[in-house]
A and B are shown apart, each in its own frame.
Chain A
Amino acid sequence: MSKVIVVTSGKGGVGKTTTSAAFAAGLASKGHRTAVIDFDVGLRNLDLIMGVERRVVYDFVNVINGEATLRQALIKDKRVDNLFILPASQTRDKDALTKEGVESVINELKTDGFEYIVCDSPAGIEKGAFMALYFADEAIIVTNPEVSSVRDSDRILGILQSKSRAAEDGNVVKEHLVITRYSPERVDLGDMISLEDIVDILSVPLLAVIPESDSVLQASNNGVPVIMNLESQAGQAYMDMTSRFLGEDVPHRFLDIEKKGFFKKLFG
């Protein structure tokens, strides 16, 4: 059985695409055939973060319009087996996405034997975001420890549970919360909302907390999903997230302020 998972947030710039890339790469590295689709038509980013932007020939909209086959448009990742990327079109806008078109692409991926179909949603609550979540079985809600981000996540959760196909059929989309850019130091200082408060406001089960880390920015700029850098805390946290999603019991890490050792204290 294949599963369609939407990565969404409402607000922009919180780490949806980073999370989609890392999570899809994580699933694939654990042996699951995974496709990740960029729904951000007109502002495509996923291919950049995955480091495949120079390999894009056909895109999602071409497939929807019947100008290319899905096989032609899917880009196979060279680093991880089982990982395929379906890039967005940069020259179109979100109106190019139709319900029927998206459905046929997702169905074709399913019959093609993909176990996980990760839909990287654009920001906002307009058509692109709606299309990305409409066919979802499960949803990963990406939130930053910040008031407006949490509020927007709440809004998108409402849309998810009222406008998705699952909701129309009287079912519930399974929700997972991922808090990104988390900095225990700043929570301690009162600059950021604590994860306990975020979970309390959203009342969604916590899947992972990704610590604020320079390695995320480096990874994006280098076109390598951060999960492939297992030396970085963010990479490890994304790997934990993937394991937890697949049902493993992994404790949460990087939630407390790092205790500096004697030498670190001396030399800062």
Chain B
Amino acid sequence: MIATQSALELKGEMLMLNVLRLQDVDIELIETTLQQKRAEAPLFFVQSPVVVDCSSLTEEQGSQLDLRALRRLLVKMDFVPVGLRNVSNAMLAASITAGWNVLRASAKQSPKQEVTIELSEDTFVYDEMAEEKKKKEANMAEFANEDQSPQKQGLTIERPIRSGQQIYAKNGDLIILSQTSAGSEVMADGSIHVYGPLRGRVLAGVKGDKKARIFCRSLEAELIVIAGCYQLLDESDTELKGKPAMIYLEDEKLIIKSIK
């Protein structure tokens, strides 16, 4: 029997895109600048997909930008307008009515991993380095006598992490003194320690740190991830469900071990 051919193949692929970061909203000025650029390499820009980045625009500029005219201009100049990026909320509706696709904001550092992380607006993100830097800037004198090496102290949370909540400890470890609920998501660039039942999704080493570990008092998680390697607990044959456990990565495999 001949296997039926599938209608399509869906692949993620890296594609060269030009990003046009707007610094002004005057369409005529944009046109002349673009023409100058094109004159430098005329063939390079023909039928070239372009994403317009609005991160450099102020809210006021954003509201003044004529999105329809911008689109017409790009088409006229043989670009393929793919969409807008980093538009302010105020611009969102106008962008869509003007026929633009609005792309998700670009991640500053995209971690290499199989499980992608999407932070929702509500995610409680704690950036150890940024906090440290802020503190230092705010109080140079106090820090002058102290050790200057950036100490990763991590983030400690005393309250339960509830269903629907996301916690992300950037640049450090995450310590949760209470439980995490089913339907919650806890993440850290470093290791994660949970001193109550661990019931939700747990992602350690999200930027690729393979030495990150997960420790918990009672292993009841839905999904375990270290540096992109993941496992559903229900698909694991470990006998440590509901027991104190430590999880680490060895040869790209997740090892679950007792820590009684």
Q: How far is the CA of A203 from the CA of B195 in the complex (A)?
A: 14
Stretch of B42-50, B148-156, B174-182, B244-252 that contacts chain A: B174-182
In contact, B196 and A158 (Cβ under 8 angstroms): no
Q: Considering only CB atoms, which chain A residue lies closest to B160 in the complex? A: A203
CB contacts (< 8 Å) of A151 on chain B: these are 163, 182-183
Question: Once A and B bind, how many residue pairs between them come within 8 Å at the CB atom?
Answer: 36
In contact, A161 and B179 (Cβ under 8 angstroms): no
Our pick among A154, A155, A203 for the contact of B178 (Cβ within 8 Å) is A203
Q: How far is the CA of A201 from the CA of B178 in the complex (A)?
A: 12
In contact, A158 and B178 (Cβ under 8 angstroms): no
Q: How far is the CA of A157 from the CA of B183 in the complex (A)?
A: 13
Is A162 positioned at the interface, with any CB of B under 8 Å from its CB?
yes
Our pick among B162, B182, B184, B196 for the contact of A161 (Cβ within 8 Å) is B162
In contact, A157 and B162 (Cβ under 8 angstroms): yes
Is B164 positioned at the interface, with any CB of A under 8 Å from its CB?
yes
Q: How far is the CA of A159 from the CA of B164 in the complex (A)?
A: 9
CB contacts (< 8 Å) of B160 on chain A: these are 157, 203
Q: How far is the CA of A162 from the CA of B167 in the complex (A)?
A: 12
CB contacts (< 8 Å) of B179 on chain A: these are 203
In contact, B183 and A155 (Cβ under 8 angstroms): yes
Q: How far is the CA of A154 from the CA of B161 in the complex (A)?
A: 9
Chain A, range 157-214, C-beta contacts under 8 Å to B: 157-159, 161-162, 172, 201, 203
- A contact set with B: CB distance below 8 Å: 151, 154-155, 157-159, 161-162, 172, 201, 203
Q: Return 19 A-B CB contacts under 8 Å, by A number.
A: A151-B163, A151-B182, A154-B162, A154-B163, A154-B164, A155-B162, A155-B163, A157-B160, A158-B161, A158-B162, A158-B164, A158-B165, A159-B162, A159-B164, A172-B159, A201-B181, A201-B182, A203-B160, A203-B178
